[in-house]
Amino acid sequence: MIFQLHPRLKQDTLFVMDLALSQLLLMNDERFPWLILVPRRTAVSEITELAPAEQNQLLSEIVALSKMLKQTYDADKINIAALGNIVPQLHVHVIARYKTDSAWPSAVFGFQKSIAYSPEKAMVAIEKVKSVVSNFLEILS
C-alpha cells in the first residue's frame, strides 16, 4: 500500500518537505508556527504501532523541529502532541508557542478559528521552514 495523506490533513495543511520518516507539513494557520510530522506509513495511528527504529527516528525528527522552533523562531515554549481523535492517521504536532500568542497559555487544538495564510505568506512561511530545517540535518533523508 502506498502512503497517502489523510484528506483532512491535506485540507488543513501545506506540504513542506519529506524527512527521513515523515512528511513535514505546516498547519495552514498563520496564528501559530505549527508544524506537523506524518510518518509515511500506512494504517498506523499510534506511536506504538511503529517499529522501534521508526519510533526513534520520529523522536529525532520531533527533537530537531523543536530545536529549530526554539532557536530560529524564538519560541517561548514548544508544544508537542500526538492526539489523533479526529484524524486517525498518526501525526505529531510540534508548535512554537509565545506568551503573547492569542491562545496562550491554553493548548491550540480547537482554539477558535484558524486563519489561513495568504498565498504569498504561505510561500514565505514554507520557504523559511525549508531553509532552516536543513540546518538540523540529521533528520533529512
Residues that bind a second copy (CB under 8 A): 45-48, 55-56, 59, 62-63, 66-67, 70, 77-86, 88, 97, 104-107, 109-110
Between 106 and 135, whose beta carbon lies closer to a second copy?
A: 106
Between 35 and 126, whose beta carbon lies closer to a second copy?
A: 35
Q: Least separation, in Å, of the C-beta of 94 and a second copy?
A: 10
Q: Least separation, in Å, of the C-beta of 2 and a second copy?
A: 25
Task: Measure the CA angle with vertex 103, ends 97 and 105; round to 5°.
Answer: 70
Between 75 and 126, whose beta carbon lies closer to a second copy?
A: 75
Cis peptide before 7 (omega within 30 of 0): no
34: exposed, middle or buried (Cβ count in 10 Å: 0-12, 13-18, 19+): buried
Q: Least separation, in Å, of the C-beta of 8 and a second copy?
A: 12
Q: Least separation, in Å, of the C-beta of 78 and a second copy?
A: 6
Say if residues 38 and 23 touch (Cβ distance below 8 Å). yes
Between 25 and 91, whose beta carbon lies closer to a second copy?
A: 91
Q: Least separation, in Å, of the C-beta of 111 and a second copy?
A: 10
Task: Measure the CA angle with vertex 68, ends 30 and 66; round to 5°.
Answer: 85
Nearest to 39 by CA among 131, 56, 28: 56
Q: Grid coordinates in use for 116?
A: 489561513
Between 77 and 128, whose beta carbon lies closer to a second copy?
A: 77
